[in-house]
Amino acid sequence: REGWSRAELVAAISGCQGLIVRSGTQVDRELIEAAPTLRVIGRAGAGVDNIDLDAASERGIIVLNAAGGNTVSAAELTIALLLSLSRHLPEANASLKSGEWNRSDFVGAELRGKTAGIVGLGLVGAAVARRLQAMEMRTIAFDPFVSEERARSVGVELVELSDLLATSDVITLHSSASPDAPPLLGSDEFEQMKRGALLVNTARGRLIDEAALSSALDSDRLGGAALDVFAVEPAHENPLVGHPRVLATPHLGASTQEAQERVAVDIATETLKVLRGQPSQAAVNAPLIDPESLEAVGPYLSVAEMCGRLATQLASGQWRDIVIRYRGEIANHDVTPLKASVVAGLLAPISDEHVNLVNINNVIAHRGWRILERKTPDAEPYTSSITVELRTSSGETSLMGTLEHGRPAVVEINGFYVHIRSPLTRPGEAPDHLHLLVLRNEDRPGRIGEVGMALGRLEVNIAAMDVGFSPDDPSEMSLMALTISRALSVEEVGVINGIDGVEDVSQAQM
């Protein structure tokens, strides 16, 4: 029913076991607490930003979404925009309706034989790739978070972003965008693109520096752009909407009858599964863990998540294998919840996808990840520990974590002994204000002071610092891990990297 007031909605759900909403309904803590018998919340669509996941999880309420229901519609819109852009169809339509007949003004280009660069090889990206291949286009993709096997299975060659920009005649965007991250495509990236290339964005407006895009279009660097999403929506005041080389649509990715029906059927089906006590592949929050398992491994879920989260941010290169090592007491139990927490941590910095015990296998299979698990009963000197090792084309990044006085702590990075405890925060407050800076440095006097002085000149406060060594590293290097007050810019990282005897500078949000 539409048009319910807040009070009417609260009254209506007070005795309900299930609630299905679209994006316009805010399911906050107050609404959840007003429904004491609620067991499941279904979101008819992909995003769950309008649902308080923490409040639902605290109550043991399963939250579902219908993430795949819009895939075909979003992919088909991408193809429609690309064809319209390459053949100047909107301009030709407007010209004809104004009484003109100017065929020569709208000479377009074929797509057959051209190279399409796909940024983000998730469900929509893969669907776009298959359709472009049917049009006899060569398809390449940039997505460091899927395996080469997954890419090959959809006929796509994985490349670095710089190679994709330099060789693609057409670029389509299908990745997520963090609110705090800089745009994926800015002035430097547009300069790397082939002159006259076409750009299509049906994913997130924040992926593009819109001012830089406007300049690239004005300078003839790009042949045109089709945009279904914008940094700020509605985009009434956005100058790109009126740009002569931009085909703009008002966020129509999921606006088809079929997508709306598919999403409605999917979410209704999954909601009924939960109410019948059956597992659902659409769950986006962690279900309650069996008490016996929770007692053994539950305290280490935060350790697993932190190691995964930091591994993603500190690693570079194309992902290949993920190794998870469980040592000590936890190795004698079912570690599936820990595996789910590691995967959730690995995804957290790069995706808004939620992982739990129900959907973990689908998430892993979808991304083509190969996860190897190892158990060792001995964990000296710790009762239990978890090591996450991320193997990429650039090498290996590993973190070992454990619990100290109930708080997660990283005790080893890439074989170097360190001691990094998760920051203390006020109740309900996330430690988003603290960042981890990791670097290798020559183990000789003065290096710690130089790094500290450099950060001081950059007006960056150091909350904690640890310097570790590796018994297996023959080089005279140590590893410095600093908890700092803010993230460093690319230029500031260069300043630290430029200190004599310092190398391999990386950072991560705690």
Q: How many C-beta neighbours within 10 Å does residue 331 have?
A: 19
- Tell me how long the chain is: 510
Task: Select which of 138, 243, 251, 320 is catalytic.
Answer: 251
Nearest to 199 by CA among 220, 178, 223: 223
**What is the 3 state secondary structure string of 469-496?**
CCCCCCCCEEEEEEEECCCCCHHHHHHH
Parallel/antiparallel/unpaired status of strands 416-421 and 435-442: unpaired
CA-based max dimension of the chain = 83
Task: Select which of 131, 150, 204, 354 is catalytic.
Answer: 204
Distance of CA 74 to the CA centre of its chain: 18
Tell the residue number behind the tokens 């904690």, with chain if given.
Answer: 464
Task: Select which of 8, 58, 233, 476 is catalytic.
Answer: 233
Task: Report CA torsion sign: 434, 435, 440, 444.
Answer: negative
Report the chain's terminal Cα–Cα distance, integer Å. Answer: 42
C-alpha distance from residue 151 to each of 146, 168, 269, 368, 371 (Å): 7, 17, 31, 8, 17
Q: Rounded to an integer, what distance in angstroms lies between the CA atom of residue 457 and that of residue 390?
A: 34
Q: Which residues contact 276 (CB under 8 A, 6 or more apart)?
A: none
Q: Rounded to an integer, what distance in angstroms lies between the CA atom of residue 212 and that of residue 188?
A: 9
Tell the residue number behind the tokens 């607490």, with chain if given.
Answer: 33
Q: Rounded to an integer, what distance in angstroms lies between the CA atom of residue 325 and that of residue 372?
A: 8
Tell the residue number behind the tokens 């009858």, with chain if given.
Answer: 257
Residue 204: active-site member: yes
C-alpha distance from residue 291 to each of 89, 221, 299 (Å): 61, 60, 12
Q: Rounded to an integer, what distance in angstroms lies between the CA atom of residue 384 and that of residue 297?
A: 9
Q: Rounded to an integer, what distance in angstroms lies between the CA atom of residue 341 and that of residue 354?
A: 10
Residue 251: active-site member: yes
Q: Rounded to an integer, what distance in angstroms lies between the CA atom of residue 161 and that of residue 224?
A: 20
Q: Rounded to an integer, what distance in angstroms lies between the CA atom of residue 190 and that of residue 224?
A: 12
Strand positions, DSSP E, 238-365: 246-248, 319-328
Residue numbers annotated as active site: 204, 233, 251
